């Protein structure tokens, strides 16, 4: 029996990890014959299959006001509580409208019951799920206890209630083993690990014209070597290490390109990064165009670009993150058969490194040995080909759509039985 599946989050737009993974889940669900629909405060999806609710966005004025008055302090005013409940009530009504309009059989809540960027939405979802017993998969990407900015707060009651809720009709999914252990330790909730994935059974289709246009748009000549940092500009991405690497390579042909915009955590780091690059003589290029999710339903505009237009012309990928829940850019680099430098962040060491990838690695700082390794990769086509072919095979075994399909089918059987 095929199901109508409703994806819910604060946004499904752009190229953040939550949006991308939700799109991949939807692809796999649709391949199995299910129908997918979308609810969020910002959407790049087919309007006929979506309900756009601006109040559900974490950047909505009321939500920003709530967050300013509950994080970084230990007490909250009754006016804040009243605003939370008023917005919660509105969102419950819109959720009901979404579920009735599209006859939703199963909710997939993407991070909205995980990290408290939108407290009223989390509370609205928790109450609605408890009241209706609608089957729900809560897909958790990063918990509030993993972020220092949420450590001092005046909403402990809501965090315990809804981030995440412990309800019998919710199946919880996490993306790494540390999150699984912490969730169980802190809440008693058991969960399933489903790592981030890509469609390794089907290599990427490259739009050569878009890729070449994009290279020209950022001012690269045919002789330039693109060192790509394929992440948002936020501090935990450790982009200063990419700047240092390009400086140490000592070749003016090497240009550092950052694919994404500054993140949701402010612009101070981006300004500091640009100044750091200038002071070290590194040619840093930032994209000034919107990069879309390559899995989005609606057709791209003629002047639109996706992540799949960026990777083909990169010569080397830097991924020196200090922390990641999993690491989409890591898989994307391997999918496009690009060599990469990776910082051994904790989840990588625990869950990914044991699979046996061939990578240039750093352990918190750049050494001359690592720089020599990167130079060898850049200057040796044979070394590069051997490296990327090996990594593609490893990723196909462990992080393909086939892995995701098996896990999702199991979750649906748990809810609906063997005829799903």
pLDDT value, residue 211: 61
287 burial type by CB count under 10 A (0-12 exposed, 13-18 middle, 19+ buried):
middle
pLDDT value, residue 205: 81
Q: Is 311 left (phi over 0), alpha (psi -120 to 50) or beta?
A: alpha
**pTM, entire model:** 0.87
Looking at residue 203, the DSSP 8-state letter turns out to be P
Q: State the fold for domain 208-398.
A: Rossmann fold (3.40.50)
Place of tokens 């490296």: 387
Give the number of other CB atoms < 10 A from CB of residue 165.
22
pLDDT tens, residue order, the chain (420 aa): 799 999 999 999 887 889 989 999 999 999 999 999 999 999 999 999 999 999 999 999 999 999 999 999 999 999 999 999 999 999 999 999 999 999 999 999 999 999 999 999 999 999 999 999 999 999 999 999 999 999 999 999 999 999 999 999 999 999 999 999 999 999 999 999 999 999 999 998 876 666 667 777 888 888 899 999 998 888 989 999 999 999 999 999 999 999 876 655 668 888 999 999 999 999 999 876 677 777 765 444 445 677 788 888 899 999 999 989 898 899 999 999 999 999 999 999 999 999 999 999 999 999 999 999 999 999 999 999 999 999 999 999 999 999 999 999 999 999 998 765
Task: Tell me the HSE value of 264 on the side-chain side, using a 13 A CA sphere.
Answer: 13
Residue spans in the chain of domains classed CATH 3.40.50.2000: 4-197+401-416, 208-398
- 341, containing H or E segment: strand 340-343
Q: Tell me if 15 sits within 8 A of 296, measured CB to CB.
A: no
pLDDT value, residue 297: 52
How far apart, in Å, are the Cα atoms of 417 and each of 169, 194, 258, 414? 14, 20, 46, 6
Closest by CA to 250, choosing from 276, 286, 283, 213, is 283
Q: What is the C-alpha separation between 411 and 379, in angstroms, rounded?
A: 46
Q: Which CATH class is domain 4-197+401-416?
A: alpha beta
pLDDT value, residue 252: 93
């Amino acid at each position: 029996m095929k199901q109508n599946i409703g994806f819910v989050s604060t946004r499904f737009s752009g190229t953040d990890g939550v949006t991308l993974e939700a799109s991949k889940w939807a692809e796999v669900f649709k391949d199995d014959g299910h129908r997918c629909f979308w609810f969020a405060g910002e959407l790049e999806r087919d309007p006929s299959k979506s309900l756009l609710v601006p109040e559900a966005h974490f950047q909505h004025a009321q939500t920003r006001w709530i967050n300013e008055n509950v994080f970084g302090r230990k007490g909250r005013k009754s006016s804040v509580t009243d605003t939370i409940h008023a917005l919660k009530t509105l969102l419950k009504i819109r959720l009901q409208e979404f579920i009735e309009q599209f006859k939703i059989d199963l909710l997939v809540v993407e991070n909205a019951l995980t990290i408290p960027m939108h407290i009223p939405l989390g509370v609205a979802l928790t109450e609605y799920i408890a009241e209706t017993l609608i089957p729900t998969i809560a897909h958790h990407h990063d918990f509030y206890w993993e972020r220092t900015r949420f450590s001092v707060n005046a909403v402990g009651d809501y965090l315990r209630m809804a981030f995440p809720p412990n309800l019998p009709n919710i199946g919880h999914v996490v993306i790494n083993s540390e999150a699984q252990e912490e969730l169980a330790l802190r809440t008693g909730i058991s969960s399933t690990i489903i790592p981030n994935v890509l469609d390794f059974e089907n290599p990427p289709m490259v739009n050569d014209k878009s890729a070449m246009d994009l290279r020209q748009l950022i001012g690269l000549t045919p002789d330039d070597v693109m060192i790509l940092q394929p992440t948002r500009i936020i501090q935990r991405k450790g982009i200063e290490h990419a700047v240092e690497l390009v400086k140490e390579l000592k070749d003016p042909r090497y240009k550092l390109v950052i694919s994404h915009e500054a993140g949701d955590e402010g612009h101070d780091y981006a300004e500091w990064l640009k100044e750091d690059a200038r002071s070290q003589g590194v040619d840093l290029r930032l994209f000034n165009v919107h990069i879309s999710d390559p899995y989005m339903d609606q057709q791209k505009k003629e002047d639109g670009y996706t992540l799949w237009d960026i990777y083909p012309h990169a010569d080397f990928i830097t991924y020196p993150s200090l922390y990641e829940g999993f690491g989409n850019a890591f898989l994307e680099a391997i999918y496009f058969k690009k060599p990469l430098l990776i910082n051994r962040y904790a989840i990588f060491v625990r869950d990914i490194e044991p699979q046996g990838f061939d990578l240039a690695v750093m352990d918190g700082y750049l050494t001359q040995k690592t720089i020599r390794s990167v130079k060898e990769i850049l200057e040796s086509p044979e070394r590069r080909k051997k490296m990327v072919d090996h990594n593609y095979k490893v990723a196909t075994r462990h992080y393909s759509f086939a892995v995701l399909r098996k896990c999702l089918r199991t979750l649906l059987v748990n809810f609906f039985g063997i005829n799903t």
